[in-house]
Amino acid sequence: MYSKPKKIGTIEIKNRFVRSATFEGMASEDGYVTDKHLELYKNLAKGGVGLIITGYSYVQESGKAFDKQLAVNTDDCVPGLCKIAEIVHENGKDCKVALQIAHCGRQSRILENTIAPSALEEKLTKKLPREMTKEEIRDTIDAFAQAIRRAKEAGFDAVQLHGAHGYLITQFLSPYINKRTDDYGGSLENRTRFLEEIYNKSVKMVGKEFPIFIKMNGVDFVEGGTTISESTEVAKRLERFGYAAIEVSAGIWEVALLKKKDLGWKSSFLPESRIFIGTMNEPAYNLTYAKEFKKVLKIPVILIGGINSLNLVENVLSSESADFVSFSRPLIREPDLPNRWLRGFGSDKVECIFCNGCLSTTVNLGLQCAKLHESHAGI
């Protein structure tokens, strides 16, 4: 199953392996593409993955999460982004690449003055965001649409919106965060309006043939947040709007403040990157949610999180629990992992030990991982 092609919207992905979006920390101070980006995506493309999703790029300065984050907020970004699309297409036979775009809202780690759908304190940073005006919401919708236009102009095959992990799109979707009483808050229809208007405005610029898909939470892991029953209802609405696929993740960053025992799983970092899969944490830890999405959707479902063996991949796909599997940490350790599996070489298991050491630095990822892997060899 994992070697069979499958479409996302109008584009055919040559196999079922997706490189999940990962913040690179490699951009210039202005958010432009650097040679480090090109080396990273060249190696990933050569490794045999069917689809590469880039690390998130910000659509507005007000949506920037970290320093050295990739930008897609002006037309000046397009020439550099072209180089990423080109190097992927030149080095990966039939490999596709999607630009992930995002606005961090209240979860910025570098901005003092943040914005969000509602003025509720972000407990991890202790920052109180300012509630967005309707004009600012319209401006941000336009910023997403313009970013999608730029991605198409730069030669990307698709775009993924980052709607998970507590960023701005999550903030609109989650009843835990969104306390608005206007057209963008309250009912499910209102809380999905932001995504509906992004899609409709984008299609006017890029047409319906250019795939726009999304990463979103199955659950938020906070009391009063999005539940799996509500997230599947959101997903059905997104499918009707025209979104081409859904990658299923979970959690918002405030979860890092909660006690491990309260969540029923162990992690030293964030819910989207749990550690020591198969020992401390179960493999495919978002599988339960992906299965629920598959029950209600016709568009492809992408499973992310804790993919640690080819046998697991085959079981997920053959049981039709998801259409694609998405991973990144194993590809930091082994960029050529898909080729190894597709050609039947080596172990069924990934070499990655899910220690999260790669998260301590996002520059020179392979070297850093190799050093940490050696030092943790006995774990």
What is residue 278's predicted lDDT score, i.e. its pLDDT? Answer: 87
What is residue 225's predicted lDDT score, i.e. its pLDDT? Answer: 95
Q: Among the options 167, 176, 243, 285, which is catalytic? A: 167
What is residue 379's predicted lDDT score, i.e. its pLDDT? Answer: 30
Cβ atoms of 116 and 171 closer than 8 Å: yes
Q: What distance in Å separates the CA atoms of residue 195 and residue 376, rounded to the nearest whole number?
A: 42
The predicted model gives 301-305 an average pLDDT of 97
What is residue 369's predicted lDDT score, i.e. its pLDDT? Answer: 57
What is residue 257's predicted lDDT score, i.e. its pLDDT? Answer: 62
Lowest-confidence region among 173-177, 187-191, 315-319, 356-360: 356-360
Q: Which helix (H) or strand (E) holds 339?
A: helix 337-342
pLDDT band at 339; cut points 50, 70, 90? very high
Lowest-confidence region among 107-116, 251-260, 274-283: 251-260
* pLDDT, tens digit (0-9, with 9 covering 90-100), for 196-225: 999 999 999 999 999 999 999 999 998 999
Active-site residue, 167 included = yes
What is residue 273's predicted lDDT score, i.e. its pLDDT? Answer: 85
Phi-psi label, residue 245: left if phi above 0, alpha if psi -120 to 50, beta otherwise: beta
In the chain, the percentage of residues whose pLDDT exceeds 70 is 91
* pLDDT, tens digit (0-9, with 9 covering 90-100), for 18-50: 999 999 999 999 999 999 999 999 999 999 999
Cβ atoms of 308 and 277 closer than 8 Å: yes
pLDDT band at 365; cut points 50, 70, 90? very low
Instruction: Pull the structure tokens for residue 200.
Output: 């409709």
Cβ atoms of 125 and 82 closer than 8 Å: no
* pLDDT, tens digit (0-9, with 9 covering 90-100), for 88-143: 999 999 999 999 999 999 999 899 999 999 999 998 888 899 999 999 999 999 99
What is residue 281's DSSP assignment?
B
What is residue 280's predicted lDDT score, i.e. its pLDDT? Answer: 78
Lowest-confidence region among 100-104, 110-114, 189-193, 278-282: 278-282
Domain 6-375, CATH homologous superfamily name and number: Aldolase class I (3.20.20.70)
pLDDT band at 356; cut points 50, 70, 90? confident
Q: Which residue has the higher pLDDT, 346 or 181?
A: 181
Q: Mean pLDDT across the chain, nearest whole number?
A: 91
